[in-house]
Structure 1
Amino acid sequence: MTAAVAQSLSSLLQRTTIEDHEAVLKSCNAVLAKSKSDTRAQHVKAVALLKLDRYEDCLRVFEDAGDALKQSAGLEYAYALYKCGKPEDAITIVSQLGAGRGAQHLEAQAAYRAERFHRTAEIYEDLREEHVSMSNEENDLRINSWAADAQLQWKGQSDSVHHTKATRDDLEAFETAFNAACLSLAKGEFGQAEILLTRAKELCRTSEDLTAEDKEAELVPILVQQLYVLNKQGKQAEAQALLEEISISNISDLSTKKITQNNVILTQQTSPNPYVLYKALNASPTPVDNDKLFEFQNNILVGNTHTADLLVRKYDGIIRSTSKALSQSPCPSVSPSVNLLAVYNAAAHAQGQTGALALKAICPLLERRPKDLGLALTAVQLYASTGNTTAAIHTLEAFLRGLEESISEDDKDARFNPGLLSVLVSLYKREGRTAHIRSELAKAAAHWRDRSEPCISLLQAAGTSLLHSSDRADLEMAGTLFRSLHQRQADDLFATAGYVASQAVINYASIENQVDQLPSVSDLVADVDVDALEQTGILPSPGSVAAAAAVIAGARGKRPAAPGDEKSAKRVRKSRLPKEYDPAKTPDPERWLPLRDRSTYRPKGRKGKQRAADRMQGGVVSEKVEEVATTVKSSGGGGGGGQKKKKKGKR
């Protein structure tokens, strides 16, 4: 009888259209009280809990129900995992569900939370290309794709960013305007970001689809982002005025609250007492689970906290905490968060010292931790800041040599990391070591070119550098690099042009077809206004020195000097002229010679005439002069020690 009642309740629950989720949950509990293994009732209960935002309770239902419910309600199970701060587990479940727009949307959200922004952008691009949109889905796709591009830019993966400029449709919704502002902010375009944030704020406040409470909640991230932009631009007065619109107490998200408190504290901070700043920053809440900060946000906030620690001289505490975290991280690591800890660890050991004094404390650490990338870069930066570029190069080369000798593939990848390589190339440029730059780029290109996801910009830089070499092997290497780039993307004119340039002096017949694919010179300069360029200071090619002088004089607001123009002669200040200077008289051409070497020199007295005669070539040599010369030669080479000096005294 009990089973029949449970079955009837379950069938009744299937046919019901209850919109009150609390009522649905109550009905499900009644069914499950009669039959705990009723999969349908468990499924409906899980959905009701998701609708009520009770994600932990929903996940507990799935764990108690077992594999049967997880398989039949895989999408709901993955969503509960995602909302409970387990995006990696959610991605694993969604990947087993197969195709479906709902599953794709969930995977994109979970990948975004797991900071797999490249995968997120790919999914949204595939959804947009399918042209099968549900209600309001097009708007959601536009908003989310902008957010993914902003995160890619912040992550340093600008090659994967699709959006370049906000369109009119993007500026019709405050969400897309806000995400477009975030992308501009990630690019460092603060002026454009400020304009877009102002637009987003206006659209949010005038929206008819939002309640007053929703508007207040949506305005918080816009205002906080605007506060950050104003501070970065140095507009302190406007930033102080904006603080009146921000209410921290009404913010529910811990991540948003922590960011807001940091920005507000740093905007309001006027006290020179570092202990006040330290106390205020450490009073901020710590986000957890699905509300945690992204890596680039957390790095900034960790940096703020450790900076406050340094200001209050908590050196031992920083050393203990950072050393513990570094010991649990792989070494070497290219993660910004790990290397940031290494930098603050080095700063704590230096105890506020800079330059040579800081290096005295840091170099022994580098000997004990030879694979610590953050520590090595800190030492390199200190050497470079003191002007010792050679020592900076030596330190970085020694660090890279240790990684190159390792048998670990991770160490080899860190050795040829594009960012690390750019530091070395910059140091080489300071000292004009062109051959070293070419060699390093060639080795890096050889390491990365066969990888599934190589660094395209690095391969382009390596190929371009090798083109400047006269060595046939370097040109062949450049051709190989540009050919592989062309195979990856056939419409890449940069790769085609590089391949043509590399093969033109080796085997021109092999690139005749590719030459026709390149745009002609006339097409490249078709929109160039030559007259305007000349007027703005570009020298005409056949002009020689006279034309160049005319352009330079015109740029300075002066007319060019004509031949024989006396007025164009350089004026000499009177203070630099002799007292008896007469412009009508011709200056003595021998005025630069010493007085005794001039032709007009006439010595006075018997001794002066005798010295003049002695210097005269072909004159009579006196015996006294010859005797003096002989005496000097005979005494040369000694210090006069053989002759006794007369003692001073009365005669």
Structure 2
Amino acid sequence: MVAQSLSSLLERASIDDHEEVLKSCNETLKKSKTDSTAQYIKVIALLKLDRYEDALRVLEAGGDALKKQAGLEHAYALYKCARWDEALTAITQASASRGASHLEAQVSYRAEHFRRAADIYEKLSQDREGSRYEEHDLSINSWATDAQLQWKGESEHVRHQRPSREDLEAFETAYNAACLKIAKGEFPQAEVLLNRAKNICETSEDLSPEDRAAELLPIAVQYLYVLIRQGKTEEAESLLAQISVDNISELSTKRIARNNIVLARQTEVNPYLLYKSLHETPEAVNNDRLFGFQDNTLLGNSHAADLLVQKYDGMIRSTAKGLSKSSYPSAEASTNLLSVYNAAGHAQGQAGPKGLKQILPLLERRPKDLGLLLTVVQLYVSVGNTTSAITAVERSLRALEESISETDQEARFNPGLLSVLVSLYQLEGRKLQIRTILAQAASFWRNKPEAPAGLLRAAAKSLLRSDAPSDLATAGDLFKSLYQKDSSDRIAIAGYVASQATLDYSQVESQLDHLPAIGDLVSGVDISALESAGIAPSASSSAAAAAAFAGARKRSAADKEDRSTKRVRKSRLPKDFDPAKKPDPERWLPLRDRSSYRPKGKKGKQRAADRTQGGPVSEKQEESAPQPQQQKASGEAMLRRIRRRASGRCGLDWARCILLIK
């Protein structure tokens, strides 16, 4: 009976008549609710009709047996309902096939597991027999995955660098290659590729007019963004006429288009109209949802509009609601962005000391909030208070250090946070602190499976500058681990050789062949051109060079006169100071010792004449002049008086007073 019903069902089935297949399945299931074959075909018919929620309900009613039979269909229905983690679990339980690998890569892409998706696409491409008819699709998807990896900050895993001739023959691959260039910030190259994609799409004979218009819209939106970033406002304005936002069916593309159009119009706009424009398009859901980096950018623009219309309380409430669902500390960009705008709401758009006054109490209550911490650091640096910025970071790191949570420890040694702290240390010249914090981070990450290579490399370079054998040994171990992960890393090889050469040269002698020869490195250097450009030769090159170097250290009188004088603060200058007037060079001498001094009166003139060198000497003065014995006696009496006064009254050191008298 089941076989007959199945045969009649298949006879009435066709590619375009899924409704009839669904009706036949329902009729069969009325007679036998446990007919697994009818249930399976019904699931397929519902998927063909884009009724994914209904398909999941049928699969749930059928139990584990039906889910196992329709493993691939179950995973696809979960994927279309944006239940990506469940979809990945269902794929692993389904039978292994090439179709399952394609679906796993697509689900991983939407779940933003881009490295996993890239690995799957590379594995599929290596199967030459299986990918004979899929090369074009695999190329499109792998380019898109690399663009997402670049946007997510995982550039070391990007496989594509430059599009091939075959990539430039299809508008999809040219468009995705342009997206990768945009992610890298290479906007002129992206503009060329977008022009290429647009021309291919406009002249394609495989697309209907409706499909051509649908494909050109996202290209135009992306092109508009590239023009804005390059400051080509006139070209952006002319492109706006070609973009009809109302004709865009995908909500995600529509939101991005509206955002770019608002930014392209640089004229002064009423902030309330700007706020309305940015919130006019509803948020996309399910598989049309924005990716993380897109959502963060649009959320930032939305909150910036909130600040313009002074919706401080509303922004504080909305960001606080989002932060309540997150855990501290978090390295996620979305969570830290909420912290930044929550702080901006409390500061009511104020920066500098006024903004810090409102935000610092928040950091005392939430010391593990990295987004809030970085906001405080930025405000301190903007007013030139680097020391307070360092203190704030160190206080938060101590709070993380006291925790036993593994998440807190990972946040404490987060590469981005440590790079901020190292930069602050560099501004104040704290080399020892830099070496210490990088060594601690290296000891934490070196045994982790996902150790950040950039952080380990920076720590090894810092330890390499130390003279301690223990630091050099640690640097050698770090460089060795980096080389084991990537044998083509010449920096790791050179660092390992440099760290171990002074400790045990025999261990690194075999590694020297992997490094380029010094002659090859300097073969293209024009020494004469460098010297003519002002590069001083080595002091040991010749005796003449050494002499010239020694002589160059001396300054002539003209050089001393040309030196810039020390700047004097305005508060220390006299009120009638005139910078255009040359000051009196004798202004530091007593008045009677200046050349311009002219005594007044008979007594003054007499004293001036007596002080004149080579002038007449009065006999009375010679007679009244004290003899040496008298001078000695009077001097000893003066010393006794100074000792009595110093020890009895002021408590000063009498020896110091003697020196002053002499």
Residue in structure 2 matching 1:301, options 295, 298, 308: 298
Q: In structure 2, how many angstroms separate the alpha carbons of the residues matched to 1:132 and 1:190?
A: 37
TM-score after normalising by structure 1: 0.83
Matches within 5 A, 1:375-524: 375-524=372-521
- TM-score, normalized by length of structure 2? 0.82
Deviations 1:337-385 (A, max 9, x none): 1111111111111112211111111111111111111111111111111
Give the Cα–Cα distance (whole angstroms) in 2 for the partners of residues 614 and 447 of structure 1: 85
Q: What does residue 242 of structure 1 align with?
A: 239
Find the residue that maps to 2:447 and give its secondary structure. Answer: coil
Superposition deviation, residue 33 in structure 1: 4.2
d(CA) in 1 for partners of 2:514 and 2:112?
A: 39
Distance 1:622 1:603 in 2: 29
Amino acid at match of 2:117: T
The residue type equivalent to 1:393 in the other structure is: I
One-letter amino acid matched to 1:482: F
Aligned mate of 1:212, from 209, 212, 215: 209
Q: Does 1:9 align with 2:5?
A: yes
Q: C-alpha separation between the residues in 1 aligned to 2:523 and 2:125?
A: 36
Shift of 1:86: 1.0
- 3-state DSSP of counterpart to 1:66: helix
1:131-175 Cα distance to aligned partner (Å, 9 max, x none): 233454111111111111111111111111111222222211111
1:199 aligned to 2:167? no
8 Å CA contact 2:75–2:91 kept in 1: the answer is yes
- Residue number in structure 2 paired with 1:610: 610
Counterparts of 2:533 and 2:218, CA distance in 1: 45
Secondary structure, aligned partner of 1:283: coil
Q: Matched residues in 1 for 2:110 and 2:537: separation?
A: 57
Identity rate of aligned residues, in percent? 56
Distance between the aligned counterparts of 1:44 and 1:233, measured in 2?
53
Partner residue, 2:341: 344
Alpha-carbon separation, structure 2, partners of 1:31 and 1:615: 142
In structure 2, how many angstroms separate the alpha carbons of the residues matched to 1:66 and 1:469? 65
Change over 3 Å in CA distance of 1:104–1:593 after alignment to 2 = same
Q: Distance in 2 between matches of 1:401 and 1:365?
A: 17
Match of residue 76 from structure 1? 73
Distance across 1 between alignment mates of 2:613 and 2:622: 9
C-alpha displacement of 1:330: 0.6
Task: Check whether the contact 2:480–2:492 (CA below 8 A) recurs between aligned residues.
Answer: yes
- The 1:593/1:38 distance shift into structure 2, 3 A limit, reads same
Change (3 A) 1:107 1:317: same
Query: 2:506 corresponds to which letter in structure 1?
Result: A
Residues 1:621 and 1:33: Cα distance change in structure 2 (over 3 Å) = farther
2:224 to 224, 227, 237: 227
Q: 1:516 to 1:436 in 2, by over 3 A?
A: same
SS of 2:99 mapped into structure 1: helix
Corresponding residue of 2:654: none
| 1:318-357 correspondence runs (5 A) | 318-357=315-354
Change beyond 3 A, Cα 1:599–1:197: same
Contact 1:614–1:621, Cα closer than 8 Å, also in 2: no
Distance 1:624 1:321, change over 3 A: farther
Residue 152 of structure 2 corresponds to 155
Counterpart residue identity of residue 408, structure 1: S
Q: Using the TM superposition, give the Cα deviation of residue 334 of structure 1 relative to its aligned residue in structure 2, in angstroms.
A: 0.7
Counterparts of 1:17-28 in structure 2, within 5 Å, are 18-22=14-18, 23-28=20-25
1:642 corresponds to which residue?
Answer: none
2:109 is the alignment partner of 1:101: no
- Tell me the equivalent position of 1:313: 310
- Compute the displacement of 1:16 (Å): 6.2
Equivalent residues of 1:269, 1:277 under 8 A apart: no
> Is the contact between residue 53 and residue 77 of structure 2 (CA under 8 Å) also seen in structure 1?
yes
Partner in structure 2 of residue 86 of structure 1 = 83
Task: Give the total of aligned pairs.
Answer: 592
Segment drifting more, 124-133 vs 530-539: 530-539
Structure 1 residue 496: Cα displacement: 1.5
Unaligned runs of 5+ in 1: 549-569, 572-590, 640-651
Which whole-Å deviations, capped at 9, do the CAs of 1:301-355 have from their partners, x for residues lacking one? Answer: 1111111111111111111121122122110111111111111111111112211
Kindly indicate whether residue 55 of structure 2 is the aligned counterpart of residue 58 of structure 1: yes
Greater mean deviation of Cα atoms: 264-273 or 441-450 = 264-273
Long gaps (5+) in structure 2: 547-560, 563-583, 600-604, 651-662
Counterpart-to-counterpart distance in 2, 1:612 and 1:387: 59
Letter in 1 for 2:147: A
CA contact (8 A) 1:21 1:48 kept: no
Per-residue CA deviation, residues 507-533 of structure 1 (Å, 9 max, x unaligned), is 111111112222222233445555666
Q: 1:599 to 1:324 in 2, by over 3 A?
A: closer
